[in-house]
A and B are shown apart, each in its own frame.
Chain A
C-alpha cells in the first residue's frame, strides 16, 4: 500500500506528490496514522474532476513533521469520528462544505449554516441533543448575548443547576471568506486574513504570509522576523491580560477586573505605536512587515512594556493570593488530559490540561528556532485555575521575549519582494496564535493562484472543549468557563 506523504511545515510540495489513495486505502491508512500519534491539523475537501478530493493533514508534534493523506470520492465518505473524536467537526465541515454524506457520523449537524444552492439556511435549527426526564430542563441562550460579545447559540440540558450537556450552535458570524480567497491573492485577501478573527490579526496574517512566502520560495528578512514576533507576542499579552481581567470580573473580584481592562488597552496601544492600529492591522505583509522601529520608538516601547508588565503582575498576583477567587477557579470546568487529547484541543487550553504542544515549540519558525516558549512548572489540572494560570505564565514569557527582541533587532530591510507563487503546489502553515494553533493550507492552480485555501482557527478545535468543561458543572459557572477559553466565534464561522 502507498505510504502517506511525509511533509515538512512550510514546505511547498508539488500537488502531484500527494498520492491518491483509494477510499479503502484511505480508511485503513488514516486510522493507522492517527493511532500512531497523528493529530489532525486540517481535514477538508476540494472539488476535483470526478468527485471531491479529501485531504487530511496530520501533525506528529514530537517528530516535528506532518503527513498528508488524500483520496477522491463521490457522494459520501466514511466517518472516522467514532474512533477519533478529534475529527468530529472537520467531518461535519466537509459534509457541509462539499455536500457529502459522512456515513456513520454520530453528530452530523451543520457547522455554519452556510448558504445552500445560494440560499440562506435558517441558523440554529437542528436536532439538538436532548435529555429527557421529569426533572430535567433545557436552557437556551443566544445568539444575542447579555454582554458585548459575538453571537452564538448555547443549549444546556440541566438537572436543577447541574449541566448534563451543553451543545453549541455557531455560524451566525459566517460571512463566506474562504470561498472569496479562491483565485487570489487579490486586493482583499490580506484584509480577509486580518479579520478572520479581529483579536488574532497578527496570528492569522502571519500564517497567511508564511504560506505565501513558502509558495514563493521567499525568505523573510531577519529584521522582519523579529518585528513579527514582537507583534505576535504583544497580541498574546494583550488578550491574555484582558481575559485575566474578565475572569476576575466573572467571580466579582473587581480590582483585577478593572486593572486588567486598562492594561489590555495599554498593550494594544503598544501595537498601535508600532503600526498605527491597536489590533496590528496592516503590519504583517507577504515578504516582511510594513512598519519598522526606530531607536526612539524602541525606547518608548520598552518603557511602556515594563510599566504594563509590572502592573499586570500586580493584578495577576492578586488573583492567586485571594482565596475567594481561587475557590471559584480551582476545580471548576475540568477538562482531563484524556479528553483534551481525544478532542484535539490546542493552545493554552490544551496545555492547561497537560497536553504540552505549542507550534512555536514543535514547528518553530524565525526567532522561535532559538527561543524556549513552554513554561516549566505549569499547572495541568485542566480547570479554570489551570487555564488562567497558564495564561499568566504565557504573559510572562511573552514579556521576556519582547523585552529581549526589542534590543536584538538585526539591521537590514524589513521587506523583500516575494515573487510569484509556484503553480500546482500546496503548503501547510501553522502559527501559535494566542488561542492556540492556527492552520492555513493553501493549494495553487496551474497559474500559481489559490485553487483552494483552508483556514482552521484554534477555536474550531476548542469549542467542544468548552462544552466538555461544563459537563457535570453548575450552569452558573458557564460565564467563568467560557472566559477561561474565550473562543472566537468569527474565527470559527469564517
Chain B
C-alpha cells in the first residue's frame, strides 16, 4: 500500500479544470475555421477542388465550409491562407446539421436541450457508445474522457455498457452496412426519451468514406441532438459539446 501512496504523490493531481481559460493546446492544433469571405474573389474554386472530402462549396461567390465533412487536413489553409485559417478554438459542436456550415466568422454553438429534456438529463446523462465503422480514433478520444484528466463522471456524464441503462447513444464511425442492424437494435433498446450524439466527421457525414456502398450512415429516422465535428474531435471538443447540450456551459 505504501508504494501506491508514494506513487500517487509523485504522479500528482492531474485533473484539469473545465471549462477554463487556462487550457493550453498545441500551437499547431487546428480548431475552428475562420473564413475571411471578403478576401475571396469567389471565382477560382481551387479550395473546393483541393478539399479531399468535398467540405468546401462556393455558394453565391463565397466559400462555405462544412465542418461536418472537414477532416482538418489544412490543405485549404495552405492553398489560400488569406481566406482560410484554423484557430485554436476547440468548441465546435452544434445542435443542427446546418449550423456546421460556416461562412464568414459567425458560429452557432450547440444549444441546450429543451426544458423538459434538460430536466431529465441535465444533471445525469448515461450514454452507450456505438462504434460503427471508423478508424477507432473517435472511440479513443471518447475513452480518454473517462481518465482522471477529464474525469467525465464529475459532470454527471458516464458511458455505460448496456443500452437499457442509457439515456442515449453516442455514435462514432460512418455506420457500415455491417453495423446498420446493430446500431438500430442498440438505439431501439434505449428507453425513450433518448438522445443521439454523432461524434466525428464519419458519423456526421460519412467523412472520408462518404459514398462508399459499404457504408450506410445514421438512418434518417434516428434524430441527432448533437453534432461533434472533427477527425477525430479533440476530447475537449466532445466534452464541450456534451456540456453545452446539458446546459452546463452557456
| A interface with B by C-beta (< 8 Å) | 112-115, 118, 120, 122-123, 143-144, 146-151, 171-177, 180, 187-188, 191-192, 194-199, 201, 255, 258-259, 261-262, 264-265, 269, 272-279, 281-282, 291, 311, 314-315, 318, 321, 488-490
Contact = CB atoms under 8 A, between A and B. Distances in A.
Contacts of B26: 269, 272-273, 276
A113 to B, nearest CB: 6
A265 B149 contact: yes
A387 B161 CA distance: 27
Contacts of B14: 262
Contact of B73 (A143, A258, A281): A281
Given A144-B182, A282-B73, A175 B133 contact: yes
A188 B135 contact: no
Nearest to A259: B11
Given A196-B135, A490-B134, A146 B161 contact: yes
Contacts of A123: 178-179, 181
A314 B173 contact: no
B10 interface: yes
A265 B181 CA distance: 33
Given A143-B179, A146-B161, A255-B7, A151 B131 contact: yes
Contact of B149 (A187, A194, A196, A261): A261
Given A144-B130, A265-B144, A315-B7, A490 B135 contact: yes
A490 B214 contact: no
B28 A262 contact: no
Contact of B137 (A172, A195, A282, A315): A195
Interface in B128-169: 128-144, 146-149, 159, 161-163
B45 interface: no
A198 B28 contact: no
Interface stretch (B114-122, B205-213, B239-247): B205-213
Residue of B176, B215, B234 with most chain A CB atoms under a 10 A cut-off: B176
Nearest to B200: A198
Contact of A148 (B73, B159, B212): B159
A151 B53 CA distance: 25
Given A115-B177, A120-B178, A275-B28, A187 B52 contact: yes
A276 B143 contact: no
Contacts of B141: 278
Contacts of A195: 134-135, 137, 208, 231
Nearest to A152: B131
Contacts of B149: 261-262, 265
A191 B208 CA distance: 7
Nearest to B73: A282
B232 interface: yes
Interface string B1-14: 00110011011001
23 contacts: A146-B161, A147-B161, A149-B139, A150-B136, A151-B132, A172-B176, A173-B176, A175-B214, A188-B52, A191-B73, A195-B135, A197-B136, A199-B140, A261-B146, A264-B144, A274-B28, A276-B30, A278-B234, A281-B71, A281-B72, A291-B28, A318-B3, A318-B7
B136 A175 contact: no
A318 B4 contact: yes
A191 B178 contact: no
B182 A172 contact: yes
A272 B161 contact: no
A234 B235 CA distance: 19
Contacts of B137: 195, 198-199, 201, 279
B25 interface: yes
A191 B52 contact: yes
Given A273-B26, A311-B10, A144 B135 contact: no
B95 interface: no
A315 B148 CA distance: 15
B231 A281 contact: yes
Nearest to B186: A144
B224 to A, nearest CB: 18
Contact of A192 (B3, B181, B208): B208
Contact of A262 (B30, B148, B176, B186): B148
B174 interface: yes
Given A150-B131, A311-B11, A175 B174 contact: yes
B18 interface: no
Nearest to B177: A120
A321 B4 CA distance: 11
Given A114-B214, A191-B71, A278-B234, A255 B4 contact: yes
A175 B202 CA distance: 11
Name the 4 nearest CB pairs between A and B, nearest first. Answer: A198-B137, A198-B135, A276-B28, A261-B147
A172 B74 contact: no
Contact of B134 (A148, A173, A281, A314): A173
A315 B11 contact: yes
A232 to B, nearest CB: 17
B140 A198 contact: yes
Contacts of A197: 135-136
A360 to B, nearest CB: 23
A66 B138 CA distance: 37
Contact of A261 (B8, B144, B213): B144
Interface string B61-93: 000000000011110000000000000000000
Contact of B133 (A144, A149, A173, A282): A173
B133 A199 contact: no
Residue of B29, B74, B137 with most chain A CB atoms under a 10 A cut-off: B137
Contact of B139 (A113, A114, A148, A176): A148
A95 B73 CA distance: 37
A276 B50 CA distance: 20
B230 to A, nearest CB: 10
A188 B69 CA distance: 13
A269 B235 CA distance: 11
B74 A282 contact: yes
Nearest to B170: A148
A255 B3 CA distance: 10
Residue of A148, A149, A278, A291 with most chain B CB atoms under a 10 A cut-off: A148
Contacts of A279: 137, 140, 232
B15 to A, nearest CB: 9
Interface in B210-228: 212-215
Contacts of A272: 25-26, 28-29
B178 A171 contact: yes
Nearest to A239: B140
A479 to B, nearest CB: 12
Contacts of A150: 131, 136, 139
